[in-house]
């Protein structure tokens, strides 16, 4: 049996083999490689090799088109589908395999939830994955990426509790969305009010991100204050973008509907409320924090698309608002500097 040093070597060998004789080579490949993707330098090769596939693709959030797929190519005469994609050497990314999807745009698809459930799956050839009751994703780790921990498997970390609530909104005109609220392990044993972090795209935060498990571990080791996490589910892709892009109604939902509910149910420190988001959710988080920095005293932005892609003009306005606030802060600091400098000078000469 040939031992291939790379996927390219296998592919070259397979393409030089008559079509009717290629399937045994696929069986040899799968017996040689314990796991995929096959990472070689800055490239990763994804495969799928099960009967019945008519169309196969990879879903990656880093793909800026609709649908966000990289199609796999079929090796003629075999069940093998493959695609080689270039990444940064430090990339650590989640992805899904998409099998027999219609390959139509996901924006505005009214059946997107059913579509994802039916056609988007974890990679059966990759043991590195995150699987939660909400969803499962596979994880690509390039050679120079940081280690990937499964936070749920840290056995010596006391775990907090996550409660699920149905939420409706007059401001945004939705019903039946979910909100997951995490409280730390000793929440019922203490009575101090706690900081709150609102995390948009809660289905992702409570799923693949493992936000609650990360909070457990960081709190145990003193790297994070014991906090309440409020993870709010977003809508489908098209309504999500409309809801998140500098939308005052979304801000009003946060301040007039979501936070009052949380403050009624939990012990909240009103002076320590933060907001976080991913992608367009990071834009919504920034909009809320810039609109009311007295309320949202901290901000986390993960992969914000500021100034790029669709809605670029609206996104650039967010950047300008950061610049204006930074300039204002510098002006305040400069006005305060002379008095401060004089005090330092008098101390030095006394």
Q: What is the DSSP letter of 21?
A: G
Which CATH number belongs to the domain containing residue 57 in this structure? 2.60.40.10
* 113 or 195, higher pLDDT: 195
Domain count, the chain: 2
Statement to judge: residues 214 and 242 lie in one domain: yes
Statement to judge: residues 161 and 296 lie in one domain: yes
Confidence class for position 348, pLDDT limits 50, 70, 90: very low
Q: Has residue 160 been placed in a domain?
A: yes
pLDDT at residue number 4: 95
* 11 or 206, higher pLDDT: 11
Instruction: In whole angstroms, give the CA distance from residue 3 to residue 344.
Output: 72
Residue 87 sits at the vertex; the CA angle it makes with 85 and 92, to the nearest 5 degrees, is 115
- Listed residues 97, 118, 141: the one ending a domain: 141
Q: Has residue 323 been placed in a domain?
A: no
- Listed residues 305, 327, 345: the one ending a domain: 305
How large a percentage of the chain has pLDDT more than 70? 87
Residue 318 sits at the vertex; the CA angle it makes with 315 and 320, to the nearest 5 degrees, is 115
* 130 or 285, higher pLDDT: 285
Q: Has residue 230 been placed in a domain?
A: yes
Confidence class for position 342, pLDDT limits 50, 70, 90: very low
Please state which of the ranges 243-252, 300-309, 329-338 shows the lowest mean pLDDT.
329-338
Instruction: In whole angstroms, give the CA distance from residue 44 to residue 300.
Output: 30
- Listed residues 266, 286, 305: the one ending a domain: 305
pLDDT at residue number 329: 52
Closest by CA to 180, choosing from 165, 159, 201, 196, is 165
Residue 296 has pLDDT above 50, yes or no: yes
Which CATH number belongs to the domain containing residue 210 in this structure? 3.40.50.1820
Instruction: In whole angstroms, give the CA distance from residue 31 to residue 25.
Output: 10
Residue length, the chain? 350
pLDDT at residue number 326: 58
Average pLDDT, integer, range 335-343: 41
pLDDT at residue number 209: 83
Q: Has residue 2 been placed in a domain?
A: no
Statement to judge: residues 112 and 93 lie in one domain: yes
Statement to judge: residues 161 and 274 lie in one domain: yes
pLDDT at residue number 310: 60
pLDDT at residue number 347: 34
Q: In what order do the strands lie in the sheet with 174-183?
A: 161-169, 174-183, 228-232, 194-200, 268-278, 296-302
* 343 or 306, higher pLDDT: 306
Q: Has residue 1 been placed in a domain?
A: no
Q: Answer yes or no: are the C-beta atoms of 294 and 222 closer than 8 Å.
A: no
Confidence class for position 325, pLDDT limits 50, 70, 90: low
pLDDT at residue number 320: 78
Statement to judge: residues 159 and 296 lie in one domain: yes
Q: What number of other Cβ atoms are within 10 A of residue 76's Cβ?
A: 10
Instruction: In whole angstroms, give the CA distance from residue 151 to residue 212.
Output: 9
Statement to judge: residues 174 and 253 lie in one domain: yes
Distances (CA, A) of 262 to 149, 267, 343: 30, 8, 45
**Three-state DSSP state, 81:** strand
Confidence class for position 171, pLDDT limits 50, 70, 90: very high
Domain that holds residue 111: 7-141
Q: Answer yes or no: are the C-beta atoms of 153 and 210 closer than 8 Å.
A: no
Model pLDDT for residues 215-267, shown as the tens digit of each residue? 999 999 999 999 999 999 987 666 777 788 768 899 999 999 999 999 999 99
Q: Answer yes or no: are the C-beta atoms of 208 and 137 closer than 8 Å.
A: yes
Residue 305 has pLDDT above 80, yes or no: no
Query: Average per-residue pLDDT in the chain?
Result: 86
Statement to judge: residues 136 and 174 lie in one domain: no
Distances (CA, A) of 12 to 86, 128, 226, 338: 19, 28, 55, 72
Statement to judge: residues 193 and 114 lie in one domain: no
Statement to judge: residues 167 and 131 lie in one domain: no
Statement to judge: residues 125 and 244 lie in one domain: no
Q: What is the pTM of this model?
A: 0.68
Statement to judge: residues 119 and 195 lie in one domain: no
Statement to judge: residues 18 and 129 lie in one domain: yes
Q: Answer yes or no: are the C-beta atoms of 244 and 314 closer than 8 Å.
A: no
Confidence class for position 341, pLDDT limits 50, 70, 90: very low
Instruction: In whole angstroms, give the CA distance from residue 294 to residue 61.
Output: 33
Residue 292 has pLDDT above 60, yes or no: yes
Beta bridge partners of 165: 179
Beta bridge partners of 273: 196, 296
Q: Has residue 336 been placed in a domain?
A: no
Phi, psi of 291 (to 5 degrees): -70, -35
Model pLDDT for residues 117-168, shown as the tens digit of each residue? 899 999 999 998 877 666 788 999 999 998 877 888 888 899 999 999 999 9
Q: Has residue 196 been placed in a domain?
A: yes
pLDDT at residue number 327: 61
Q: Has residue 339 been placed in a domain?
A: no
Residue 332 has pLDDT above 60, yes or no: no
């Amino acid at each position: 049996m040939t031992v291939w040093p790379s996927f390219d070597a296998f592919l070259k060998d397979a393409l030089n083999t008559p079509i009717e004789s290629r399937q045994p080579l696929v069986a040899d490949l799968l017996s040689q490689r314990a796991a995929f993707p096959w990472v070689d330098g800055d490239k990763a090769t994804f495969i799928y090799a099960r009967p019945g596939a008519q169309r196969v693709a990879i879903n990656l959030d880093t793909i800026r088109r609709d649908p966000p797929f990289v199609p796999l190519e079929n090796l003629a005469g075999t069940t093998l589908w493959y695609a080689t994609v270039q990444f940064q050497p430090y990339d650590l990314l989640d992805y899904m395999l998409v099998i027999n999807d219609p390959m139509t745009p996901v924006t505005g698809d009214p059946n997107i939830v059913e579509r994802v459930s039916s056609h988007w799956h974890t990679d059966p050839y990759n043991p590195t994955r995150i699987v939660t009751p909400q969803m499962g994703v596979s994880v690509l780790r390039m050679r120079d990426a940081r280690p990937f921990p499964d936070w749920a498997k840290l056995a010596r970390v006391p775990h907090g509790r996550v409660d699920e609530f149905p939420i409706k909104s007059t401001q945004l005109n939705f019903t039946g969305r979910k909100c997951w609220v995490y409280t730390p392990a000793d929440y019922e044993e203490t009575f101090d009010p706690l900081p709150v972090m609102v995390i948009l795209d809660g289905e992702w935060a409570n799923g693949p991100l493992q936000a609650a498990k990360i909070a457990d571990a960081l709190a145990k080791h003193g790297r994070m204050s014991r906090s309440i996490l409020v993870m709010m589910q977003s809508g489908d892709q098209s309504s999500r973008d409309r809801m998140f892009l500098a939308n005052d109604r979304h801000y009003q939902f946060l301040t007039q509907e979501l936070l009052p509910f949380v403050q009624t149910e939990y012990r909240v420190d009103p002076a320590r409320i933060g907001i976080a988001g991913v992608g367009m959710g990071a834009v919504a988080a920034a909009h809320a924090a810039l609109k009311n920095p007295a309320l949202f005293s901290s901000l986390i932005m993960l992969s914000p698309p500021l100034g790029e892609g669709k809605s670029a003009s609206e996104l650039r306005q967010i950047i300008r608002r950061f610049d204006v606030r930074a300039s204002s802060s510098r002006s305040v600091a400069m006005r305060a500097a002379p008095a401060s400098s004089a005090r330092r000078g008098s101390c030095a000469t006394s």
